[in-house]
Chain A
Amino acid sequence: MAVIAHDPSRPTQTHAEVTRDVLKTITDAPTRGYYVLVFGMAFLVLVLLGTVVAELKEGIGLAGYAPPIMWSVYITTFVFWVGIGHAGTLISAILFLFRSPWRTAVYRATEAMTVFAVMTAALFPILHIGREWLFYWLLPYPNQRYLWPNFKSPLMWDVFAISTYLTVSSTFLMVGLVPDLAAVRDNVSGWKKKLYTALSLGWTGADSQWRHYTRAYLYLAALATPLVLSVHSVVSWDFASSIVPGWHGTIFAPYFVAGAIYSGIGMVLTLMIPLRKVLKVEHMITDYHFDNLSKLTLLTGSILFYAYGMEYFVAWYSGSTFEQTTFWRRAFGPNWWAGWTMIICNAFVSQLLWFRKIRTNLTSLFVISIFINLGMWFERYVIVVSSLANDYLPYAWGQLNPTWADWCLLAGSFGWFGLWFTMFYKNFPIVAIQEIKEMIPMPRRKSAEGAH
């Protein structure tokens, strides 16, 4: 298939090949490795459940919270996963509007990742509150007592932003899936045929369907684009609209969005590099795609580099001793190790991507993507924990020591995410069949005659 590399934007030659290659990922029997993966993830989910039950029984204090650090690992992980959830919609919506051809091969996987990441993130706001069973009080539901939530609270903005984002991104994913599911339907038999028949909602690819479908898809993309940018801005305002030194910054929205995309693409790389091998779709998801992803990483990574620098500059330039102390302690305080992990992994490691050799070498790219995930988790840890640890009254300063409950929930979140993703890629077309076909010119009679 080497010939394909000539026109990178066209991974496969004919529509028939696309259908065949993509369907293989679903129809091939799962390997033993796959089951190991699934059960591993399921185990982590059990760990998560166990921790949650324990905390429901005893109280959230099982985690290592040490006032004044009232938010710690859980909120860190929440922001981490929300961030991951940004690459997907960015690639599928924004790049769709920009008509950039390289998105087609990877967007389905990233979009699935987005949905599952947001599903994971959405757990934490509920699990971190002290009375989990009352989380629904944050919803504006009509009730006898005429109590309404406080829409001035950034946490309410969160509720709306996250739920909207979850709804829209999963809708976007499903809408994109329908024609592909029809293709699957037409190529499987037995109970699977029944299943995919139901899922494909009677799609036939008739002109009367395409006519509205294509418009709807366009508008969804148009709506999702500002949404992506807004969601992490809103999350950033959880912090920025408070008066905690180290949180109270106007730079936060763009800084968080860049960070989100950066971490999201980091996760895409971590997932896709092994996945394309496992699913044998190397000829569809090629170096060309990774090269582009790397460039996007490099861009957002550099924005982060700037943001970090700007944070410190503003802290110094503000002349506020509170800000200055906070940032001094970020670098040289008790949490210095977290601070430097974040700067090195995000600001510096991303700069390696200036080199084409590194960008196109998947091994190095994979290693870098791991660093990105690590760095971005620590970025949130630094912002949440080391800012709270030392605010206005020194007498009230504290120091965090996370406990098993913190780590179990963190590990469990990866299990929860992983379980959904592994289930997905084996049962749904991980590469968008119809969009790739759309890019492959259909054969014409002349060329056909020429071929004879």
Chain B
Amino acid sequence: MAAHVPGVLGAFLHVDAACDAIRELKASGHADLTVYTAAPNHEIEEAIGDPISPLRWFTLLGGLLGCASGFGLTIWMSRDWPLLVGGKPIAAIPPYVVIGFELTILFGSLASVAAIFILSARKSLKGRPYAPRFSDDQIGIFVPCGPDRADQVQAMLEKHGPVEVTRDA
């Protein structure tokens, strides 16, 4: 466990309440929130207001790379060992489309999955508190802050009727 991050953790049952809390925190300059939900939720996404994930570029590049290597592989290998079969050209494009296509899909998919890890890792969650109920039915909002602002944050959360607010400084 890495360095413990001090802050206030609020657990909400009601989505609208959680959203209000998030907006208020953001407005008061708490940019670095961590919101735990059991399932993706659009209201919360809007409340947090992060820009759309750049993951699509990974997918695109993976796909293009796959397509290129598909055709490259087949054409190069046929020319490297040129054998005549059935009176067909040594490097026949139509049959190679299949390989090109399959590799496009393969590389694209693997790139997307890899991207999840890469991109998520950019924001470390190490040392931030987490509670099992967040994977069940509650929304967790963790606000990293020093003891000096903790009271203010706690008040801000409690105003919106959380199930519970814990300070852990």
Q: Which A residues are within 8 Å of any B CB, using their own CB?
A: 14-16, 19, 140, 146-152, 156-157, 160-161, 164, 167-168, 171-172, 175, 179, 182-183, 185-187, 204-216, 219-220, 223-224, 226-227, 230, 234, 237, 433-435, 437-438, 441-446, 448
A242 smallest CB distance to B (angstroms): 11
Question: What is the bound-complex CA distance between A187 and B53, given in angstroms?
Answer: 30
Is A219's CB under 8 angstroms from B110's CB? Answer: no
Residue with the greatest number of chain A CB neighbours at <10 A, chosen from B33, B38, B59, B88: B38
Q: Mark B107-120, 1 if CB is under 8 A from A, else 0.
A: 01110110110011
Is A216's CB under 8 angstroms from B112's CB? Answer: yes
What would 12 A/B residue contacts be, using CB atoms closer than 8 Å?
Answer: A19-B135, A150-B83, A157-B98, A168-B106, A179-B135, A185-B135, A186-B132, A207-B36, A210-B45, A224-B105, A442-B15, A444-B14
A328 smallest CB distance to B (angstroms): 29
Main secondary structure of the interface of B (DSSP, over half): helix
Interface residues on B, range: 35 or more
- In the complex formed, the residue of B with least CB distance to A214 is B40
Known: A152-B85, A182-B135, A219-B56. A15 touches B105 (CB 8 A): no
Known: A157-B99, A205-B135, A208-B123. A220 touches B112 (CB 8 A): yes
Known: A152-B88, A442-B41. A186 touches B136 (CB 8 A): yes
Pick the contact of B136 from A15, A210, A216, A438 — CB < 8 Å? A15
For chain B, residues 69 to 98, give those with C-beta under 8 angstroms from any C-beta of chain A. Answer: 73-74, 77-78, 80-81, 83, 85-86, 88, 92, 95-96, 98
- In the complex formed, the residue of B with least CB distance to A445 is B14
Pick the contact of A208 from B34, B83, B130, B133 — CB < 8 Å? B34
Q: Which B residues are within 8 Å of any A CB, using their own CB?
A: 13-17, 33-41, 44-45, 48, 50, 52-53, 55-56, 59, 63, 73-74, 77-78, 80-81, 83, 85-86, 88, 92, 95-96, 98-99, 101-103, 105-106, 108-110, 112-113, 115-116, 119-120, 122-123, 125, 128, 130, 132-137, 139, 161
Q: Which residues of A contact B132 (CB under 8 A)?
A: 186-187
Q: Which residues of B contact A442 (CB under 8 A)?
A: 14-15, 41, 139
